[in-house]
Chains A and B, each alone.
Chain A
């Protein structure tokens, strides 16, 4: 007999729901699917947590997250980074309610158990009541694995699985490598604080949108037209920029072909050499004339690292799902070590563009929320993602590419998603 309960817990058929050129609307609305995503993606794979520059000195800490879970990123007194859970092992109380700070010890206010910022239990009041307790098992919970790539810290709740380098792949590592080269000292700093922008939409709409090169001309026409921005043309039908599937869910809009065609230094950032002369001089000194010129022509990457780190040329976004229809986008300006004149412009441009009142992101969010409501409609059941499927091709490095407005990126995200959900 099929009971109501058995029906409710039947496993979704992802081979049916995710097809090569279309995906089923329930993937954005089904609470059981969201629960499985937490298990198979957010609590298993590598998820971006934070940057080492957010906890620059010993005993610094900052509150971060992996999906709906709070994670405290700490730097202990020896400089080592830890990813701890905000749960006292005694009765589950939160041990930290501050967004960031500097402290070596976290004390639970409930029964005053205290913990080192390594997670280790330091002590509890009236210890004679715990004669049989094993103190080594009563520390703060940890994110099972932690790894760092060039300052970018990732966590995974799975004990086994691919290494971070394997997860990032050649494409993800190359994106971060290219990013840090924009600094004359080869380092990114995340120091400007995050805006936290909430949307009533499923997290996958955000991930898809980050490398959807089809929408900017339409969703963002209002600001491109009044700000006389050249960004829209990068996503026009004449653009030589490319949409690229980097594999493992990572995707890219590669704008370099356009910037190389135009051939002007710092055009990627909408500025010119004479406005940031100190930066240009430092870059030439650091990398030599030819390489510095190439870096300053190519600009920074536009890469979505699955499932939650979007490197968006001048800022990073960190995507945090809270529930099946609620997602937070944390966003801040990228800051490049040794480039103060560039950095102040990066902050100014980022503040204008993103966050709850941003010229760009307020309209993106509007689309996330309307699509969330739209896919609740019964017909058609599918979202059609076939754009450019006839002109997909392999580039010289073996990646699948197509025109910048094509959905080769979105298809790549879903191909990887299906693999993870069927695993």
Chain B
């Protein structure tokens, strides 16, 4: 089986994902918020990867306005669980273009996140799915789904941007 890779597109997508990761790791909230489209969905399911988020509880299931609220809460300086902020370093890998119809690009990737905060150190592992959309000067996230590999178990507070 031959796999044809559009290397220019792959490089563009990778650069976008790395940039997103850096903005999250450095708590650059406003720059991160600017990566979303107006109809965006930010989704972290619980108890599996394929639950119906309209019927079942998710860890996060934010529409665009709730993403904005999340950022505003950080900016109050009173989001105690992020005061002090988690110290973060994440590795994004396994970047794969699943589909590209010229307007929207489906991308899969994995991330390992090392978090250090007042509680201690926590390692988070995720399988991510993105729906990216071309928007004039570059890519934007229309959907980001983060499947924590342990989302069926009790997990500690996860209040940084995942």
Residues of A within 8 A of B (CB): 99, 191-200, 219, 221-223, 225-227, 328, 331-333, 344, 347-348, 350-352, 355-357, 359, 361-363, 365-367, 369-370, 373
Contact = CB atoms under 8 A, between A and B. Distances in A.
Contact of B154 (A99, A225, A328): A328
A197 B158 CA distance: 9
Contacts of A356: 59, 155-159
B159 A226 contact: no
Contacts of B70: 359
Q: Identify which of B55, B72, B80, B157 gathers the most chain A CB atoms within 10 Å of its CB.
A: B157
A198 B154 contact: yes
A351 B61 contact: yes
Given A226-B76, A357-B44, A347 B57 contact: yes
A361 B153 CA distance: 17
B76 A222 contact: yes
Interface of B: 44, 46-47, 51, 54-62, 66, 69-70, 72-73, 76-81, 118-120, 152-159, 162
A268 B75 CA distance: 27
Contacts of B118: 366, 369-370, 373
Contacts of A99: 47, 152
Contacts of A198: 154-156
Contact of A357 (B54, B59, B78, B119): B59
Contacts of A331: 57
A352 B76 contact: no
Given A200-B119, A365-B81, A351 B60 contact: yes
Given A99-B47, A222-B79, A226-B73, A196 B119 contact: no
A195 B59 contact: yes
Given A350-B57, A363-B80, A369 B158 contact: no
B73 A344 contact: no
Given A99-B152, A196-B153, A366-B81, A359 B69 contact: yes
B57 to A, nearest CB: 5
A355 B148 CA distance: 14
Given A363-B79, A370-B118, A200 B156 contact: yes
A329 B162 CA distance: 21
B154 A355 contact: no
A223 B23 CA distance: 23
A209 to B, nearest CB: 13
Given A198-B155, A366-B80, A357 B73 contact: no
Contact of A197 (B76, B119, B155): B155
A367 B156 contact: no
Contact of B158 (A347, A352, A357, A359): A357
B73 A359 contact: yes
A199 B152 contact: no
26 contacts: A99-B47, A192-B56, A193-B51, A193-B56, A195-B57, A196-B46, A196-B153, A197-B154, A197-B155, A198-B155, A199-B156, A221-B76, A222-B76, A222-B77, A222-B78, A222-B80, A225-B76, A226-B69, A226-B73, A331-B57, A351-B61, A352-B66, A359-B70, A366-B118, A366-B157, A367-B80
Nearest to A365: B157
Nearest to B47: A193
A64 to B, nearest CB: 14
Contacts of A222: 73, 76-80
Nearest to B152: A99
A221 B78 contact: yes
A196 B69 contact: no
B54 A199 contact: no
Nearest to A219: B80
Contacts of B81: 362-363, 365-366
Given A193-B47, A195-B46, A333 B69 contact: no
Contacts of A363: 79-81
